[in-house]
Every structure is written in structure tokens, then in C-alpha cells.
Structure 1
Amino acid sequence: MGNYSVWWLVLISLVACCGIMALVWLWAHKIRNAGVVDIFWSYNFPVIGIILLLLAPGFETRKWLICGMTIVAGLRLGTHLSARIISHLDEEEGRYRQLRKEWAPSAERKFFFFFQLQGISNVLLAAPFFVITMNTEPRLSAFEYAGFILWLISVSGEALADRQLAAFKKDPDKKGNVCDTGLWHYSRHPNYFFQWMMWMSYFVFALASPYGCVAVISPAVILYLLLKVTGIPATEEQSLCSKGAAFKRYQEKVSVFVPWFRKG
């Protein structure tokens, strides 16, 4: 059991995540592909999970449970992104190409600070994990069991959505079409929906711990990013450019986010 204060744990995690992002920036600079930041943004959460598992002073069973959840989810998403991004490593994704144009001629310097902000965001979003792993209460509560069940549903749903989309893209007969099968029949972004649900599960889990309400920051920030910033807006803009009228018809039929509501 560790005896570190929460502030020391935050500092150690911040140094680790920002250090990893500095190394990733060097790689991205060499290959001229900033998209690799997405992979390591996901992998940084397991790094934080391992730090807390080893150093946080909380109840061991609780630490193993929440850190295990964090590590599994981060490794799954990071590995999924790795398969997608590394398959076209010589071709930078559209949103990063656009940033490179907008930030010229000092794009690489600005990307360095962008990568560092990603590392900082890892630690900010890990607020539930810090709260939970400081809890020394030697029993699990109903909130923690409920959080785990919600997490299991969320990670399974996100993985299923990712597999369905990957299978659709691999089918040569579907080239140029919009994926509207499986979970994608009910939501234009089921993967994002279940990702947000996963962050909600961490919040529910944290409610059993002192200052657990602080953990609401994570699902709130993730929801804002998905709906307004880097998630849905960028994805839909790219889909409209590549699929045009077919994607517009899909937008008219299917809910943007909530998978159980289908239009028409």
C-alpha cells in the first residue's frame, strides 16, 4: 500500500503522461503524422492506472477493480486506434492536416504544445481514479457495483460498435457507402455514446468515495468534446466530404448520438 498524497499522485501522473507525449511528439515530427497522438492519449490512462495501483493508499480490492477497469479500457481503445492509424501511417488524418495548414509555418512547435495538452487532459479526466484510489473504506458499496456493471456494458458496446464499423469498411462491396448496420442502424456514433457511458460509469463508481462528486468533471468534459469539439463535428464533416448525399440521407434517418432513438 502506498502512502502518497493525492497531489503527489497527480504530479507523478502528470510528469509521466507529459513525458510520454514529448516522446510521441518526436516520433510524430519524424514521420509527419500527428495522428499518433490519439493512440497514446488512450494508452496514458493505463499508465495512470498502474501508478495508482502501485502508489495510492486506498483499499486494495477497490484499487485493483478500478485500475483494472482503466487499464483494460485504455488498452482496448489504444490498440483499436493503433490498428487503424498505423495501417496508413504515411497518410495523416484530415483534421491534423488541417491543423498543420492553419498553424504553418510554426506547426511543429504548436503540435508540441498540443501534445502536452493531451497529456494534461489525461490527468484531468482521471479525476475519478484519483478520488477512488484514495478511499480506504474496506468494503465495496452499491455505487461501486453499479459503476462496474455500467462500465462492462459500455466497454462491450463500444468494442462491438468498433468491430461492426471495421468489418463494414473491410467489405469491398460497401466502398463509398455509409455504415448503417448493427448498432450503426440506431445511432450515427454508437462508439462515442458508449465511450461517454464508460466515463459515466467511473463517476457512478466514484460516488461511493469522499469527494466523489468531483468526478462528474470527466463525463461532462467528454460529452462536451464529443458533441462540440473533436468528436462528432469533425467526424461528420469528414463523412459529408467523402460520402456526400449518402451521408446526408443517413443523418436524416438516424439519431446523432443516442442509439435507441431512430428517426422516421
Structure 2
Amino acid sequence: MTTTYLGALAAIALSLAVLMALAWVVRERTGNSGWVDTIWTFAVGLVGAGGALWPVAGAGPNARQWLVAALVMLWSLRLGTHIAIRTSGITDDPRYADFARAWGLNAPRRMFIFLQNQALGSVPPVFAIFVAAHVPEPALRVQDFLGAAILLIGILGEALADAQLTRFRHDGANKGRVCDVGLWRWSRHPNYFFEWLSWLAYPVIALSAGYAWGWASLLAPVFMYWILVHVTGIPPLEAQMLRSRGERYRAYQARTSMFFPLPPRTLPPKEGVAA
């Protein structure tokens, strides 16, 4: 059993490294870093589904494996398609563009290393998918359906947040303003919150008495929280928003929760700035 799990872990790592190398090639050929996130999303979905269906002890995929594979592919197709549509309408992703400017002439090499680090960092959440799919109990349990429900809520919540932001941006009256309608009134990054919520599904499915590997599934929400809140998610995006929206975004930061949806804070009149 251990050999099988370690073999799957190695295969996941290699597959992600190869696919993120492809993302680097696409980025270098097109100059549009938005395709990096598109390819990453589809890569995680493809490798995750493949890991979910990975045979153990020569047995074919069971109902749980098919359920987990379907869930990760649904997540991947929804998010990947959304990012691809968004990317097709821009010349470059401002977050990656900032990295490239800071790296100067070393940008291609540094970008390749950055994307390989991203591939390496993606191994724990994808391995969590594998672990959840291979719980050694043949029949589906209540917690499998609970995990599926959490993931579906995450997908729907993120899709709603993305749709609200897109509609806000396409309204000419909102040019230069900060989106604070719908879910964006309760969180500055509701799409990231629901993305993180989706990854809680795998520990819910995987944690089971006597299944030591199930604890590895906790790495998925831990990693996604760290990457979204502290690395490539919120920090560069908020820096870019402060440059483009200035005091309007500072006022939005002051009254709106950064990540977890919470009621907006009421500021004294002298501190409030219309968004």
C-alpha cells in the first residue's frame, strides 16, 4: 500500500512539473501570463482526476473514485473556462507582469523556476484528491456526500462571485470604482474564499478511522489558504488595486473583510470614502 501511494505521489509531481513547463512555453510564446493560471487549473483537474482513478491492488475504480474524479473535473472545467475567457480579453496578467518587470533580463529563467515551484506546491492538494478517492471502504458514506456538497457550494459560490465582478466591470458607470456589491460587500476576495472552501471537501471525504493516509488530505486547504492569502493571490492583487484605485480601495479595505465573508464594518464619516 505504501509503495502504491508513494508511486502515485511521484507520478503526480512529475505530471505537474511537465504541465507547468508547458505553461511556461505558452507564456513565453504569447506574452500573456494569464494562460499560466488557465493551464494550472486544467492541469490540476487532469492530474487530480487521473490520481482519483489510479488503480490500487489491481482493482478497478469504485464509486468513490469516480465521485472524486467527477468533482475535481467539474471544478477544473468551471474555473479553467472562466480564466481562459478572461485571459483571451487581456494582453497580460498584471500580477505576473509585475514579477517579470522586477526580474528584468532574468525574467524567462525566473519565471520557469517560479512555475516549477508552483508545480511543486500543487503536489499536496492534488495528492489530497488521490487520498480522498482511495479511502479503503467500498461503499459511499454520508461524509462522501457531505464532501461533495461542500465542493459544489464552493464551485457555485466562486462562480457567483466571478459573475458579479464581471457584471460590475462591464457596466460603464462603474469605471474607476471598486466592486462592493453582492458577495464583494462581505469579502474583498469572495472568489478566493469559495476556492479555498472547495478544497475542504477532500479532508471531509478522506478522514476516516484507521486510514492514516487520510491526514495528508489536510494539506489541501492549508496549502490553498497559504497560497491565496499570503503568496500569489491576495498580496499582489491588492497591491495592484491600491495603485489603480488608491483611496477608494483603502476605504474598501477598511470596511470589508479580507477573506472570510463578514458583515461590512461601519466607519466614521470622516474615514469613509465612496467606492
TM-score (ref. length: structure 2): 0.87
Q: CA deviation at 1:215?
A: 1.0
Query: What is the distance in 1 between the residues matched to 2:143 and 2:208?
Result: 6
Counterpart position of 2:102: 102
CA offsets per residue over residues 182-219 of structure 1, 9 Å max, x none?
Answer: 11111111111111111112221211371212211111
Counterpart position of 1:191: 191
Q: Which residues of 2 match residues 41-190 of structure 1 at below 5 A?
A: 41-57=40-56, 60-88=62-90, 91-190=91-190
Counterpart position of 2:269: none
Query: What is the distance in 2 between the residues matched to 1:261 and 1:218?
Result: 27
Amino acid in the other structure paired with 2:154: S
Unaligned runs of 5+ in 1: none
Query: What is the distance in 2 between the residues matched to 1:149 and 1:55?
Result: 23
Q: CA deviation at 1:96?
A: 1.6
Q: Is the 8 A contact 1:161 1:183 kept in 2?
A: yes
Query: What is the distance in 2 between the residues matched to 1:226 and 1:137?
Result: 33
Query: What is the distance in 2 between the residues matched to 1:204 and 1:75?
Result: 22
Counterpart position of 1:263: 265
Q: Is the 8 A contact 1:143 1:207 kept in 2?
A: no
Query: What is the distance in 2 between the residues matched to 1:260 and 1:99?
Result: 32
Q: CA deviation at 1:153?
A: 1.2
Q: CA deviation at 1:32?
A: 2.2
Query: What is the distance in 2 between the residues matched to 1:37 and 1:63?
Result: 28
CA offsets per residue over residues 92-118 of structure 1, 9 Å max, x none?
Answer: 222222221222222111211222222
Q: Is the 8 A contact 2:150 2:201 kept in 1?
A: yes
Query: What is the distance in 1 between the residues matched to 2:127 and 2:95?
Result: 28
Q: Is the 8 A contact 2:229 2:235 kept in 1?
A: yes
Amino acid in the other structure paired with 1:220: V
Q: CA deviation at 1:127?
A: 2.4
Amino acid in the other structure paired with 1:244: G
Identify the range of structure 1 (8-17 vs 158-167) with the bigger mean alpha-carbon deviation: 8-17
Q: CA deviation at 1:143?
A: 2.3
CA offsets per residue over residues 78-97 of structure 1, 9 Å max, x none?
Answer: 11111111211xx2222222
Q: CA deviation at 1:15?
A: 2.5
Q: CA deviation at 1:53?
A: 4.4
Aligned residues: 259
Q: CA deviation at 1:164?
A: 0.6
Q: CA deviation at 1:14?
A: 2.4
Identify the range of structure 1 (60-69 vs 6-15) with the bigger mean alpha-carbon deviation: 6-15
CA RMSD after TM alignment: 1.9
The 1:217/1:42 distance shift into structure 2, 3 A limit, reads same
Q: Is the 8 A contact 1:240 1:248 kept in 2?
A: yes
Counterpart position of 2:245: 243
Query: What is the distance in 2 between the residues matched to 1:104 and 1:260?
Result: 40
Unaligned runs of 5+ in 2: 267-275
Q: Is the 8 A contact 2:48 2:72 kept in 1?
A: yes
Counterpart position of 2:273: none
Counterpart position of 1:33: 32
Q: CA deviation at 1:129?
A: 1.2
Seq. identity, %: 34
Counterpart position of 1:18: 17
Identify the range of structure 1 (33-42 vs 175-184) with the bigger mean alpha-carbon deviation: 33-42
TM-score (ref. length: structure 1): 0.91
Q: CA deviation at 1:54?
A: 4.0
Q: CA deviation at 1:26?
A: 1.5
State which of 208, 215, 218 in structure 1 corresponds to 2:217.
215
Q: Is the 8 A contact 1:151 1:197 kept in 2?
A: yes
Q: CA deviation at 1:50?
A: 3.2
Identify the range of structure 1 (166-175 vs 142-151) with the bigger mean alpha-carbon deviation: 142-151
